[in-house]
Chains A and B, each alone.
Chain A
Amino acid sequence: MRAVWDAPLGAVGRGAIAFAAGFGRFGTFAIRVGRAMPDIGIWARLLVLQMAKLGVASLPIALFIAAFTGIVLALQASYTMTGAVPLYFVGTLVGKTMLLELGPVLTGLALAGRVGANIAAEIGTMRVTEQIDALETLAYDPLAYLVVPRVIAGVIMFPVVVVFADALGILGGWITAMNLLDLSSAEFVRGLRLFFRPFDVEYSLIKAASFGLAVTSIGCFFGFQTSGGAEAVGRSTTQAVVVASMLILVLDAFWAVALL
Chain B
Amino acid sequence: MESVRKAFGEKVVLESVSLEIRDGETLAIIGASGSGKSVLLKTLVRLLVPDGGRITVDGQDVLALEREALYALRRHVGYVFQFAALFDSMTVFDNVAMGLRRSGAMGEAEIRDRVLESLRRVEMSGYEDRLPSQISGGQRKRVGLARAIATGPKYLLYDEPTSGLDPVTTAVVDELILRMAKELAVTSVVVTHDMKSAYRIAQRIAMLHRGRIRFTGTPDEIRKSNDDVVRGFIEGRPDLGQEAA
Contact = CB atoms under 8 A, between A and B. Distances in A.
B45 interface: yes
A162 to B, nearest CB: 28
A35 B85 CA distance: 26
Interface residues of B, number: 26
Nearest to B74: A139
A185 B150 CA distance: 66
Contact of B102 (A35, A130, A138): A138
A179 interface: no
Most buried by B among A41, A134, A140: A134
A130 B98 contact: no
Interface string A115-149: 00000000000000111011011111100000000
B8 to A, nearest CB: 10
Interface residues of A, number: 14
A42 B87 CA distance: 16
B98 A138 contact: yes
A138 B94 CA distance: 13
Chain A, interface SS category? helix
Nearest to A137: B79
Contact of B87 (A131, A137, A141): A131
Contacts of A41: 104
A117 B47 CA distance: 26
Contacts of A131: 85-88
Nearest to A136: B47
Contact of B99 (A35, A42, A133, A138): A138
Contacts of B71: 139, 141
Contact of A134 (B72, B75, B81): B81
Given A137-B45, A137-B47, A139-B102, A130 B75 contact: no
Interface of B: 42, 45, 47, 67, 71-72, 74-75, 77-79, 81-83, 85-88, 98-99, 102-104, 147-148, 151
7 contacts: A130-B83, A130-B85, A131-B86, A133-B85, A134-B81, A134-B86, A136-B45
